[in-house]
Structure 1
Amino acid sequence: MNLSIDMINEKLNLKTQIYTYQNSVPILERPRLFSENCKIDNSKVLYVGNAQAFNKTNFINPGASLISIGTPKWFSPNDYPTINVLIIDENISLVDLFNRVLDIFLYFSKWETRMDKLINNNCELQDLIDCSDEVIGWPISIIDRAQKTLATSKFDESDDIIWQEICSGYICTELLRQDSVQISEVVNYNRPIQRYSTVSKRIILTQPARINNHVVGFIAIHNPNRTEEYFSKGIEHIVNYFTKFVAKMMNSNEFYSMSRGVMFEYLFVDLIEGNISDSAEISDRLLFINWSLDDGKILLSISSQCDNLKTLRDYIMQIIPNMHCVIYEKRLVAIISNLSDQGLSDGVLEQLEAWIIKNNLKCGISNLFYDLIETKKYYEQTKAALNLGKVLHTKKTIYKYSDYSLYHAILKLSESHDIVDFCHPSIHELAVEPCNRILIETLRVYLQNDCNITVSAKELFIHRNSMIYRINKLKDEIKLDLSDADLRLQLQFSFAIYDFIRWFYPNHPKNIYNLDGVDETLIK
């Protein structure tokens, strides 16, 4: 890590005077002990010596940097505006000073090593702040473009309204609009800038973090006390390094590195994970990023066997109106808004299905919903539809949750109960006798077709009279009144449970499709 003379001054903890030219940047690679016979010919070397050792004839390279114990007699800032000079106004030996400078180079080198290790280990942004609190020495915050807090220093003793908002997890848009520090100005810079905040009543140092020249967040340094005093240039240089580390970590994370709709994606993922419980916050964040998610909404989860999710995401957002999409949990998760009570139109469904089939994908679709706070629940619906549909209907490509909600309920029930306990006992009693098992499929089809004899006979490929005979035999065998609507509902629910057992718990002792002698050709 290259240092600037300002960064070194920040860590020397000595009484000093510093004179740097306007374009001073961190380019120093190493210190060198200076003597009278040396020449200052390398702008990347920091020369350390006593005042009497420096002679103005030694200056060859503009932009040179030196630390002098005492002020050289010839030195005047106005006469040498293109060199960096740090004058030590304390009684200190040259050896002690040089060792301190070496330690500072080592200190920043170790910080760089620790930060790189955190990034390579895919740690969190909070880990970067924890590793940098001592180095920067002031409270740090990282927020995204939608004003959501990503990480902060563990510091809360401040009357700063902005800092309090950041610690709460989100900065209100209205509060930012009242401030003299405007994001629209900050994003124009590639370096730290310092501005007086009329809301915080103090100077705030801030810098945008960029990925592929796209601003994805902001780093800010806060002063716990109300003051108009600016942060030192050394802090600016350190923060610039810190911002590069943050951008590097964000770029290594697939979610942060998306260059399209980054601000919306942050909000969408928060909704998917159920991190927001306040409707006002959702509205505020949507307002800030100028998105509209009005009327009815549905969610889609799209799974792929390939690794081309980014390409698929960009394409589908172009062909389906009012769709926004993110990559989450190794699948595409999309929200389609501005829908009527009828949900997706037949035309959009046909277009979506053609694209799904063409790209060998599978898609789960949630029910229609209106409140974005419930996004997490409807995202779970898309996953349930995908997981259940892939097993129950392997040839289908689109699975609507409305077709699988009953099986999802059975799945949840199976997590705490033996679901056979909820089945009507007559079905298992019929299945025990091999001669009666053909009646089980007859009963199933009859109930599915609302007790229509003709339609059921046609589906079973038997004569209508044969169907009537079987129904009468069923009534005699199980002694049940199939004209009872509540009974029919219980029997249909029982068949759904046995279907679920067949596919997900095939070894269950009461699996009616796994009993000796069962005719699998009867099972639809």
Structure 2
Amino acid sequence: MKLSLDIILPNLNCSIVKTSISDSSRQELEDIRFLDSPQGQLEEKHLYLGCTKELMNRVNSTCPVTAVLIGEEPSGGFRQGDNIILAGREEKLTDLFNRLQEIFYQYCQWERQLQELTIKRASLSRFVECGARLLGTPVSIIDVAEGTLAASETEEGDLNDDVWREIRRGYISTDTRERDTLKADMIIRASGPVQFYSSVSERILLAQAIRVRGHVVGFLSAHRLVKGKEGYPNGMVQAFAKLTYYVSVRMSEKDFYKLSRGWIFEYILLDLIERRLVNPADIKERVKMLSWDANQTKSIAVIRFCSREINESELKRRQVQLENMWPGCRSILYNQRIVGIEFNANKKMSPEKETEFISWLKGANLECGISNYYEDIAETAYHYEQAEKALHFGRVVNPGRGLYCYWDYMVEHTFEILNQNMDIRTLIHPSMLRILSLLDTTPFLIDTLKVYLRTERNISLAAKELFIHKNTMIYRLKVLEEKLGCDLDDYTTRSRILYSIDVLEYLEKFGEKKQ
């Protein structure tokens, strides 16, 4: 790692008589060279070590020179533009050389660690911990929605800083952002690290925007341990810039693809689906960053290929088509599916649009499950499950339909939940059990009962659906009344019988209770 004098000077730990530092103190230095070695013209890319006289004898170039010296200061002073550290008389060149070597080694090892973390695609937490060890201050990475991506560990009570507490909690609240004098735009406008006073933190914060492919994807920040308006030394600022560079490289990797595209929406929706974002106050803060109306009626759509072979590039292409076709829908790719959240979901698709949508699904070999409508954004995970269950049950109950709405399969989902904790055969009405016991001798009874009740006891319509004569239907009903031993004119009885029929159909299609 190349070091500047700004980094070297605070770490030199020696007696210093005088420093003569120019604007070129940020020049990166490759290595250490002795002034008494037989080398040619002095170059600005090296750090020179030696006696004052040796330097004065060799200064013959126009470029600025950086040197650590021992001896007397020249009567005319040091040349303007050079960067000179004049050590005390008691210092020895060998000791100074060893200290300088140690500084170079320490920083080279630090950069090597960052390189290894980048190659190994380590977590962002590893990067901030690596940065905090060198800088000696807490370090964090937040996204552009000011949600925490990583924060270094701090002992309780070490940092009396409201902003840092919120970063550790998971995000910087809207109220804090509005009260603070430090704004995100101030950091974004800068090309490198910036130091600004934060009125909420009550200290100077060091921050830099993290850019990937032209997008600002987040911010790296360092927090002083104590309050006040003391700034950061140039050396720390330069090391901080190096850390930001490696974090940017890491965040250009595939696992940060969505974030690097500036799609914070994707991360928030994922947090909702995977139940990482459950606290109502947290949810309210996060969705504000997306300009969502959290009270809008919403629904979740899950789209997947009918076949098991998944082509990711094809799925991305279909995602774009979906959002063009369905303007109120925002979507992400998740578990080899397109997961969309539709706003203003109570404004139903027109029959023409629905027909077009189903035609698109079938033409692309896709199928779609849609959840019930909901308003509370905190319920997103439940409605994602509903959309998945609509697909699961729909393709069995109504194969080939393409579009499956959860409200058509709520009964099946209820039975699945019940069947995980009990044998739902015990829920079958006693009258239905008598019918089941007679299936060998009168197999037509169960179908007759099912169709009769589902056609609201319309004898003509039921006979038509069963493809039998009306008189045959009347005969079957007489047999049913004898065998059932109950009154089908009673609404409560009919509802219990229909419920039992639903249980039987569930068991037939989705199997017996697992032991």
- What interval of TM-score do these two structures reach, taking the shorter chain for normalisation? 0.7 to 0.9
Which residue in the other structure is 2:194 paired with? 193
Which residue in the other structure is 2:177 paired with? 176
Q: Is the 8 A contact 2:140 2:150 kept in 1?
A: yes
Which residue in the other structure is 2:491 paired with? 485
Which residue in the other structure is 2:445 paired with? 439
Letter matched to residue 182 of structure 1: K
Alpha-carbon deviations, 1:207-226, whole Å to 9, x = none? 11112111111111111212
In structure 1, C-alpha distance between the alignment counterparts of 2:52 and 2:429, rounded to whole Å: 99
Cα–Cα, structure 1 residues 137 and 427, in superposed 2: closer, same or farther, change >3 Å?
Answer: same
Residue 469 (str. 1) matches residue 475 (str. 2): yes
Letter matched to residue 427 of structure 2: F
Letter matched to residue 406 of structure 1: V
In structure 2, C-alpha distance between the alignment counterparts of 1:87 and 1:328, rounded to whole Å: 61
TM-score (norm 2): 0.85
Which residue in the other structure is 1:518 paired with? none
Residue 248 (str. 1) matches residue 249 (str. 2): yes
**1:156-305 residue pairs with structure 2 within 5 A?**
156-157=156-157, 158-254=159-255, 256-258=257-259, 262-277=263-278, 279=280, 281-292=282-293, 295-304=296-305, 305=310
Q: How far off its partner does 1:31 sit?
A: 4.1
Alpha-carbon deviations, 1:145-177, whole Å to 9, x = none? 112222222224333222233233222223323
In structure 1, C-alpha distance between the alignment counterparts of 2:64 and 2:463, rounded to whole Å: 95
SS in 2 for 1:203: strand
Letter matched to residue 434 of structure 1: D
Alpha-carbon deviations, 1:449-476, whole Å to 9, x = none? 3333333333333333333333333333
1:424 to 419, 422, 429: 429
Which residue in the other structure is 2:147 paired with? 148
In structure 1, C-alpha distance between the alignment counterparts of 2:181 and 2:472, rounded to whole Å: 85
Q: Is the 8 A contact 2:298 2:374 kept in 1?
A: yes
Residue 455 (str. 1) matches residue 461 (str. 2): yes
SS in 2 for 1:38: coil
Letter matched to residue 154 of structure 1: E
Letter matched to residue 243 of structure 1: T
SS in 2 for 1:251: coil
Q: How far off its partner does 1:321 sit?
A: 2.2
1:322 to 328, 331, 335: 328
Alpha-carbon deviations, 1:196-254, whole Å to 9, x = none? 22232211111111121111111111112122111112211222222223223333254
SS in 2 for 1:434: coil
Alpha-carbon deviations, 1:85-133, whole Å to 9, x = none? 5555585543444344444444344434444444455543223222332
TM-score (norm 1): 0.84
Letter matched to residue 476 of structure 2: R
SS in 1 for 2:422: coil
In structure 2, C-alpha distance between the alignment counterparts of 1:420 and 1:376, rounded to whole Å: 30
In structure 2, C-alpha distance between the alignment counterparts of 1:228 and 1:293, rounded to whole Å: 39
In structure 1, C-alpha distance between the alignment counterparts of 2:453 and 2:281, rounded to whole Å: 48
Cα–Cα, structure 1 residues 400 and 76, in superposed 2: closer, same or farther, change >3 Å?
Answer: farther
Q: Is the 8 A contact 1:20 1:84 kept in 2?
A: yes
Identical pairs, percent? 31
User: Structure 1 residues 468-477 or 12-21, which shifts more?
Assistant: 12-21
Cα–Cα, structure 1 residues 508 and 110, in superposed 2: closer, same or farther, change >3 Å?
Answer: same
In structure 2, C-alpha distance between the alignment counterparts of 1:168 and 1:508, rounded to whole Å: 42
Q: How far off its partner does 1:483 sit?
A: 2.8
**1:52-91 residue pairs with structure 2 within 5 A?**
52-55=53-56, 57=58, 60=61, 62=63, 65-68=66-69, 73=74, 79-81=79-81, 84-89=83-88, 91=90
Residue 4 (str. 1) matches residue 4 (str. 2): yes
Which residue in the other structure is 2:394 paired with? 389
Q: Is the 8 A contact 2:124 2:149 kept in 1?
A: yes
Q: Is the 8 A contact 1:210 1:216 kept in 2?
A: yes
Which residue in the other structure is 1:355 paired with? 360
User: Structure 1 residues 383-392 or 188-197, which shifts more?
Assistant: 383-392
Which runs of no fewer than 5 residues in structure 1 stay unpaired? 510-524
Cα–Cα, structure 1 residues 69 and 461, in superposed 2: closer, same or farther, change >3 Å?
Answer: farther
Q: How far off its partner does 1:485 sit?
A: 2.7
In structure 1, C-alpha distance between the alignment counterparts of 2:57 and 2:499, rounded to whole Å: 96
Letter matched to residue 364 of structure 1: G
In structure 2, C-alpha distance between the alignment counterparts of 1:392 and 1:493, rounded to whole Å: 17
Q: Is the 8 A contact 2:14 2:91 kept in 1?
A: no
Residue 130 (str. 1) matches residue 135 (str. 2): no
Letter matched to residue 475 of structure 1: E
In structure 1, C-alpha distance between the alignment counterparts of 2:162 and 2:76, rounded to whole Å: 45
User: Structure 1 residues 158-167 or 214-223, which shifts more?
Assistant: 158-167
In structure 2, C-alpha distance between the alignment counterparts of 1:71 and 1:219, rounded to whole Å: 44
In structure 2, C-alpha distance between the alignment counterparts of 1:24 and 1:291, rounded to whole Å: 49
**1:334-413 residue pairs with structure 2 within 5 A?**
334-340=340-346, 343-413=348-418
Q: Is the 8 A contact 1:39 1:59 kept in 2?
A: no
In structure 2, C-alpha distance between the alignment counterparts of 1:74 and 1:470, rounded to whole Å: 124
Q: Is the 8 A contact 1:194 1:203 kept in 2?
A: yes
2:505 to 480, 499, 517: 499
In structure 1, C-alpha distance between the alignment counterparts of 2:73 and 2:321, rounded to whole Å: 67
Cα–Cα, structure 1 residues 346 and 62, in superposed 2: closer, same or farther, change >3 Å?
Answer: farther
In structure 2, C-alpha distance between the alignment counterparts of 1:502 and 1:75, rounded to whole Å: 102
Cα–Cα, structure 1 residues 448 and 67, in superposed 2: closer, same or farther, change >3 Å?
Answer: farther
SS in 2 for 1:416: coil
Q: Is the 8 A contact 2:459 2:474 kept in 1?
A: yes
Q: Is the 8 A contact 1:430 1:437 kept in 2?
A: no
